[in-house]
Amino acid sequence: MNYELTTYVTHSRQVNQTDEQIKSALLATGWSEADVIAALAPLNPLIPPTPPPPPRESMWVGFLYANYANIITTLAFALLTIFNIWINNTFSPATTQTSFTLPISSDNFMVNTAMSAISPMIGSALLTTKKVLLYGSLATIIVFYPLFLLFSAALKKQLKTKPYIRHFRSRKIPLYILLGLAFFAILFHIIVVIVLALTGVVTTTTFGSLFITMLVWGLIMGYLLNEVLEK
């Protein structure tokens, strides 16, 4: 390799000339292109670029996913409430009546009179409570379902532009907590049904409620598994 060429290249780089400027100047003075390329190549080895530092986790990401998990949980309980009220009304229509009899008998006239007066009030209170739960759950869905769609779209877009967020603990922890909640909700309801079966008080409503629990939480588990396992 020509020492004069390498010296010129080294000096030119020290004064912040680019390789293209150096090459053009050498070719203009009569040096062959092969010699110029040979002089430039050893001084510009292919060094792999330094990998960028790992991205820092953002509290904003944790905030978004924590609220996302809360929204899904709230919607799940609202749906469970609505479906269980529907099952109860469908398979136990007698419970929807305002009449209610306390399971207390007495020979005392005053006690019987008091029980007769209280029973309709209790029945009316039960019916009112059921309506409050139903309307409250419907209102919850009206408010939270648009939020669910908004958060879902925003988080999907965020993952497309910043895929490294998928590995953030602030994203994984809320999703895994909700996944565990869904799993144990199903297991707990199965245990309750088994206990009722062993005591002989299983009804159609019992199995209908179990089906709704498995359906709602099962759909949530499937959705979350797709989120956490997606490559």
Closest CA to 58 of 137, 164, 144, 133: 164
User: What does the pLDDT look like over 89-117, one tens digit per residue?
Assistant: 887 655 444 444 445 444 544 445 544 54
Residue spans per domain, the chain: 3-40, 59-229
* Mean local confidence (pLDDT), 158-169: 87
Quote the CA–CA distance of 40 and 38 in Å, as a whole number.
5
Quote the CA–CA distance of 226 and 231 in Å, as a whole number.
9
* Mean local confidence (pLDDT), 167-195: 92
- CB distance 209 to 87 below 8 Å: yes
Lowest mean pLDDT, pick from 35-44, 119-128, 170-179: 119-128
Quote the CA–CA distance of 103 and 124 in Å, as a whole number.
17
pTM of the model: 0.64
Q: pLDDT: is 177 or 132 the higher one?
A: 177
For the chain, the three-class secondary structure string (H helix, E strand, C coil) is CCHHHHHHHHHHHHCCCCHHHHHHHHHHCCCCHHHHHHHHCCCCCCCCCCCCCCCCCCHHHHHHHHHHHHHHHHHHHHHHHHHHHHHHHHHCHHHHCCCCCCCCCCCCHHHHHHHHHHHHHHHHHHHHHHHHHHHHHHHHHHHHHHHHHHHHHHHHHHHHHCHHHHHCHHHHHHHHHHHHHHHHHHHHHHHHHHHHHHHCCCCHHHHHHHHHHHHHHHHHHHHHHHHHHCC
